[in-house]
Every structure is written in structure tokens, then in C-alpha cells.
Amino acid sequence: MATALIILAAGMGTRMNSELPKVLHAIAGAPMLIHAMKSGASLDPERTVIVAGHGATAVGKVAQDWDDRAEVVLQAEQLGTGHGVAQASGALSDFSGDAFVLYGDTPFIRPETLTAMSAARQFHDVVVLGFDAADPGRYGRLVTSGEVLERIVEFKDASDEERAITLCNSGVVAADSATLFDLVAAIKNDNAAGEYYLTDIIEIARSRGLSATVVRCDESETMGINSRAELAVAEGAFQTARRAEALADGVTLQAPETVYFAHDTVIGRDSIIEPNVVFGPDVTVESGATIRAFSHLEGCHVSRGSVVGPYARLRPGAELAENVKIGNFVEVKNAQIAEGAKVNHLSYIGDATIGAGSNIGAGTITCNYDGVSKHHTVIGARVFVGSNTMLVAPVTLGDDSMTASGSVITRDVPAEALALSRAPQEIKLGLAKRMFEKLKSKKAKATKGA
């Protein structure tokens, strides 16, 4: 059965107090909208429709950057969830299959939950996702009879008996696409808010002899984000779950509560992650690697047996082969470092290729930017780069070559050659003492005059 996703992402998010559309606020390095799209992607949808409103251009760009097949439709006025779903009817007019309604500000629905809803669709016309709330509060209540969902009752309209129900509505719905839009078209807005509520489709469906049921999930999956405080809670929930998953997968976290993962971080088992490590998006760490304390990684790949840090920064395009060592206060960007190479101290390696077994001395800088364009540095295998070497790109150091400490290298260095570039050292006997006396005298006069 083909599947389509309808993701409602039109809300202004007034409580966020932000110019950024609510669904673009990030959790674990990705906008909430992307979390919802990733969850829905588990259904292998044939179509994805994003219903955007506030900041529609920005919302659409984020959605289509992640999935270029996503379609974006505009909900110019926010007149309720039913009205939002109706805006997708034109985009899906030629679609035949099931449609799932998800929410761009509800990022934690698990793929397994959506699969359970898909399975329930084989036996019921409409499937609603519900959860047993520890504190039902003002959630809509799901009134059931056995497996059958009779109706959804909003808190304000519920009787005391109905308010005692703890099974609550998440808002997530699945139905045949044509059936869903037919039901949505029948929703009225004769309520105090003048809005079209998606919840009304259950009563309409039952009045037409259609069946409806509930699939239950854990309350934590249905967490909706409406404020900065709730965003912080959601970030904490994500990190707690991801840390537990990493530990269960055989990763050592020496101080789990200090390690922060991105939504797509991949770490192999038997890796060791020391305290206060932050993973930005698009990081893969292979099995048996060590990431030492206070390091920051994003957009990089760390191979088996490599050691990074402490206090290291790997930026996008950093590719470390096996058994590479990146030490303290080293930054690597857009550079490929071959097996066994070492960059141990206080260096910047950007737009570079480093061969196997090379040793990069402390204070080395690949001078890759001329103010207009970036240029590449190539360092061969088994090269020894002396401390405080400036490599002015574009430049190549041949295999088994060497640079003397304090050199500024502006020309290619042949294999097995030593490059030495220093100004001659001069010694002026007694000059240091005379200069200090002169400076002290000048300072004393200035102090007396003041």
C-alpha cells in the first residue's frame, strides 16, 4: 500500500518569542521538522506534503534540502488542524493510498509506532495515535469501546466521566487518502474558536458507518514543543535516550551526562568517549576510536583506532584514517589524514591531504586562504614537519621530506629533501641591557610627569 505524509508545519509559535518559524527550532542539531520527516520516512512514503504558513519559504527550503521530493503547500490562515490537512488535498489529488498526518512540532514519534498504525489500517478505516497520560490535563480524551474508537472529546466539552479517561489524543491520524479528505471536507467550524478541528473526523466517520481505532504509544513520543522551555526539555529527553542507546550498543561514555549527540551521530562499539564531548551533525566514529575530553566534532569521519583530543576540533570534511592521532588544540577542516599520521599539538590543518605515517609538529599551519580563494596543501607519506612551520598553499611536500622548525614554506619540497626557510639570526652583545635601561627611564619620566 502506497503511503503519503502530511506534516502540519504552519504554526507561528508565538510562545517561542522568535522570528524563526517554530518547526525550524533545532533539537540535536536538526530542526524539529526534520525529526518529524525522519520518523515518517520509516514508512517509505511515496509522497510527502509539508503544510507551511508562517515563514513558509524558510520551512520549505529546509524540508526540500532534506528531501527534494517533498511538496510544500501554503496554509495562509491558520484555521485549525482540519483546515491544515485540507490544504494538502490538491497536492494529493492524484494519490491513491494511505495518508498519515504528522506534526512538525512533535519530533519524537517512533518509526515502530507508525508501523503499528499502518498495520492497524488493514482492519480499520481511521487510526488515531493515543497515549495514556500521567496527567491528562486539558488533552482531548479518546472514548473507546473495546478496540473501537467512538469519538474524541475536547476537555472543555467533556463530562466528568469523560475527563476521568486517561487515554488522550496525540493528533496523529492515518486513513485512506480519499477517505481522509472526504471526512475533512465535512468538518464544521461552529465552535468558539471558529476553527476546523481534525478530531471531528472520528464522529463523522462513525456516523457514516466507518470504523476507527486507537494505537497506543508512550507519552514521551507525543511531546509537542511550543516554548523555549519545552524545547530545552525535549533536547534533554533526546540526549538522555541517545546516551542510553550508545551505552547499550557497547560505547563507553565516561561521563554520559556531559556528552551531547546530534540527531545522526554514529559511534561504533568499543569506542571511548571522554567527558564534555559535543557531536555536531554528520559525524561517524568507527569502532575502537577514542574521543578525548572537551572535543567538538561535526561533519567528519573518524576511523578505527584513531584518537582525537583532548580539546580538538574536527570540522566538516575532516577524514581520519585508522590509527590517526589528533591532539590538544588541533583544528582539522576539509582534510584527509592517512593511516598512522599524527597532528599532536596546537596546529591548524585545513584544505589538506596528509600521507600515511607523517608527523606534523606543534604550531603548524596550512595557510590555505589568500583572502579570496582557498588553496590545497599536499603532505606526502612519512613527512616530518618541524614545529612552527607555515605551509603557504598551494604547496606540496614529497614523501620522506622534512621541514625545519620555524620555516615558512612557499615552494614545493621534493621527496627526501629538507626545506629550511629562516631569516639569519644576529647577536647584538649588550643591546638587551641598554634597551631595558632606556625603556625603564622613559617609563619613569612619563610617570613623574603624570
Q: Is the Cβ–Cβ distance between 89 and 201 less than 8 Å? A: no
- Does 155 have pLDDT greater than 90? no
The predicted pLDDT at position 413 comes to 98
For the stretch 208-247, pLDDT in tens is 999 999 999 999 999 999 999 999 999 999 999 999 999 9
Q: What is the pTM of this model?
A: 0.90
- The pair phi, psi for residue 66, each rounded to 5°, is -80, -40
Look at residue 193 in the predicted model and tell me its pLDDT.
78
Instruction: Please indicate whether residue 83 is annotated as part of the active site.
Output: no
Could you report the per-residue pLDDT of 165-220, keeping only the tens digit for each?
Answer: 999 999 999 999 999 999 999 999 987 778 899 999 999 999 999 999 999 999 99
The catalytic residue among 83, 124, 263, 345 is 345
Contacts of 273 (CB under 8 A, 6+ apart): 246, 251, 252, 253, 254, 259, 267, 291
- One-letter amino acid for residue 38 of the chain: K
pLDDT band at 423 (very low <50, low <70, confident <90, very high): confident
pLDDT value at position 158? 87
Q: Mean pLDDT, the chain, as a whole number?
A: 96
Check whether 82 has a pLDDT greater than 80.
yes
Q: How is domain 228-419 classified at the architecture level of CATH?
A: 3 Solenoid (2.160)
Confidence of residue 425 (pLDDT cuts 50, 70, 90): confident
Provide the grid cell at 306.
584513531
Task: Establish how many alpha carbons lie within 13 A of residue 79's alpha carbon, considering only the half-sphere containing its beta carbon.
Answer: 17
For the ranges 49-53, 378-382, 445-449, which has the lowest average pLDDT? Answer: 445-449
pLDDT value at 449 more than 80: no
The pLDDT value given to residue 73 = 97
Contacts of 133 (CB under 8 A, 6+ apart): 139, 166, 167, 168, 219
Nine-digit cell at 372? Answer: 579570496
> Does residue 446 register a pLDDT over 90?
no
Q: What pLDDT does residue 24 have?
A: 97
Please state which CATH number belongs to domain 3-125+171-208: 3.90.550.10
Using CA atoms, how far apart are residues 374 and 366, in angstroms rounded to an integer?
A: 11
Query: What pLDDT shows up at residue 267?
Result: 98
Measured CA to CA, the distance from residue 309 to residue 326 in angstroms comes to 6
Q: What does the pLDDT look like over 317-335, one tens digit per residue?
A: 999 999 999 999 999 999 9
Q: What is the pLDDT of residue 307?
A: 98
For the chain, domain boundaries: 3-125+171-208, 228-419
52 has pLDDT over 80: yes
